Amino acid sequence: MKVTTDSLPGKINAQQRELINRQPEIIDPESTPAWYAVRTKPNQEQLALRHYQNQNMTGYLPLMQVARRHARRIDQILRPVFPGYLFLHLPPQMRNWVAISATRGAIGPVSFGGTIPAVPDWVIHQLRAEENDLGLHNPARGQAALTPNCPVEVSLSCVALARGRFRSYRGQERIEVLLDILHRQIRTTVPADRVCRL
């Protein structure tokens, strides 16, 4: 049912009348640029992104820095926040799904029942808002930055706390720590929300 100025009680001014009578603006997803999730081959997210950029497509690959242990040393490396996925911002004329699927390093767009849904803009804006000054996603956003070997406190239960040392991030939600228990250091992985820096 459409509301008109004739059906409203009382007096209204011209500006109010215009707002009421104006039809809502309908945004057609087929005529505006939109973000899409694209599946990539394992460990080829950056290769696929590079090839999409060579095709003048706008891509976004959220990255985070994680610690990797190899041959008795720990290296800081960049890993995708969503392994095996990246995002493309595509206007309608560039939505050639065959070409997108045939790009080196890519498998194809994420689809559900033959439909390729757009990713809402707010999701990309939120991901970008969570990046630090270097453009990296911070898995421990909202708490003091954890650096290797910094002292931490871990909540083991509602009353028990343990102290230890931060080792590395294990994805976005888990952290590897060395806990000081009974004069020994025990390596374990705990949820990130149970760890705070001392």
pLDDT in tens, 88-102: 999 999 999 999 999
Q: How many CB atoms lie within 10 A of CB 2?
A: 7
CA-closest candidate to residue 68, choices 57, 77, 58: 77
pLDDT (mean) for 72-101 = 89
Tell me if 141 is assigned to some domain: no
Both tokens of 129, joined, read: 């808002």
Phi/psi of residue 14, nearest 5 degrees: -65, -40
Examine the domain organization and report whether 122 and 160 are in the same domain: no
pLDDT confidence band for 16 (50 / 70 / 90): low
Q: How far is CA 21 from CA 26, 28, 85, 102, in A?
A: 15, 21, 44, 48
Examine the domain organization and report whether 101 and 43 are in the same domain: yes
- Answering whether pTM is above 0.85, one says no
Examine the domain organization and report whether 78 and 163 are in the same domain: no
Number of domains in the chain: 2
Tell me if 119 is assigned to some domain: yes
Q: Which residue range is the domain that position 184 belongs to?
A: 151-197
Q: What is the pLDDT of residue 3?
A: 46
Examine the domain organization and report whether 63 and 121 are in the same domain: yes
